Amino acid sequence: MDSRQLRYFAAVCTYRNLSHAADHCNVAQSAVSHHIGNLEDELGTALFVRKPRGMEPTAAGLRLYAHARAILDALEDAAGDIRNGHREIGGEISIGMPYSVIQHIGTGLMRTTLSDYPRVRLLLTEGLSGVMFDSLLRRDVDFILAYNPPSDRNTVREVLVEEPVYCIGTEALIGTSDAPIAIDEVLRLPLVLLKSGTLSRSQTDTPHILNRLEQNARLQLASVAATICALEGGIGCTLAPRVMLKSQLERNLLRARRVIRPDLKRTLYMVSRAGEPPTTLLEEMMALVRRLVADAVAAEQWDAV
């Protein structure tokens, strides 16, 4: 098995057609067919079901495709790193982060990328922590910022900040006081919680509190916009950092009370895939994110430590 075979194989998986795959690889169709046959002989299993109008990967073919994609991406990253390592940093990088984090560092990240890294193309994706974690595992993004991600042998986590969690809602629901509110009192309120994909831990990573919150939440939403609508409409209150609803709080449409007994906090991590060769671009952009987060906290623009 070599990289050429894997490229031909990946092209057939993508296009489901020998002719289209051959055109993509700029080789004869017979060459692609020959290498696929050799690969199947070497692995001792069929990788495709041949059909009159195309090629469908078998279960073994789909498993190999996941490995092949990772290997080919790593080879491309390595080649780009070597080519660009001695010149100006360039290339494409995709970063995922929640709405509240974009509120803190999104502008600085975009502005610095444009001014200091003119050869870099930044793809910035907004999403809930769980959704971003799934995107990282699917290789849709290069690294993410996520709250309370699970420990996973396929990822590397780095703590960035810890921030307090507030109960936020209308005065009619949580009162006119800004005094802290105990979790037992929060649980008696109508709750609207963000349901973060397969990861619902973004409010807190304390299991027994998370379970109680989810049991009491009448609405679980996978949308920041829908959550804001529910809060402004007085449908319920939520648990979130102040920055997520900064505009509404400044206009006194909503109030925020720190959650205590116990103090509810959440931790923001920078998460990347484990076992992949580092690239100069990846290291540089991760370092930039660290600086922006540290600067925001030092300037007291971020209620976190």
User: Does 304 map to a domain?
Assistant: no
Q: How confident is the model at residue 193 (pLDDT cuts 50, 70, 90)?
A: confident
Q: Are residues 137 and 156 in the same domain?
A: yes
Question: What is the tens place of the pLDDT at every residue in 116-127?
Answer: 999 999 999 998
CATH code assigned at 262: 3.40.190.10
Q: How many domains does the chain have?
A: 3
Average pLDDT over residues 186-215: 66
Q: Are residues 145 and 184 in the same domain?
A: no
Q: Are residues 199 and 133 in the same domain?
A: no
Q: How confident is the model at residue 198 (pLDDT cuts 50, 70, 90)?
A: very low
Mean predicted lDDT score pLDDT of the chain: 87
Question: Who has greater pLDDT, 78 or 292?
Answer: 292
Q: Are residues 294 and 145 in the same domain?
A: yes
- Confidence check: pLDDT of 112 > 90: yes
Question: What is the tens place of the pLDDT at every residue in 19-43?
Answer: 999 998 999 999 999 999 999 999 9
The set of residues, in sequence order, having a beta carbon less than 8 Å from that of 140 and lying 6+ positions away, is 94, 96, 125
Q: Are residues 110 and 205 in the same domain?
A: no
User: Does 305 map to a domain?
Assistant: no
* pTM: predicted TM-score of the whole model, two decimal places: 0.62
Question: What is the tens place of the pLDDT at every residue in 209-257?
Answer: 767 777 777 787 878 888 889 999 999 998 888 888 888 988 999 999 9
Q: Are residues 106 and 21 in the same domain?
A: no
Domain holding 156, by residue range, is: 89-162+268-298
Q: Are residues 43 and 67 in the same domain?
A: yes
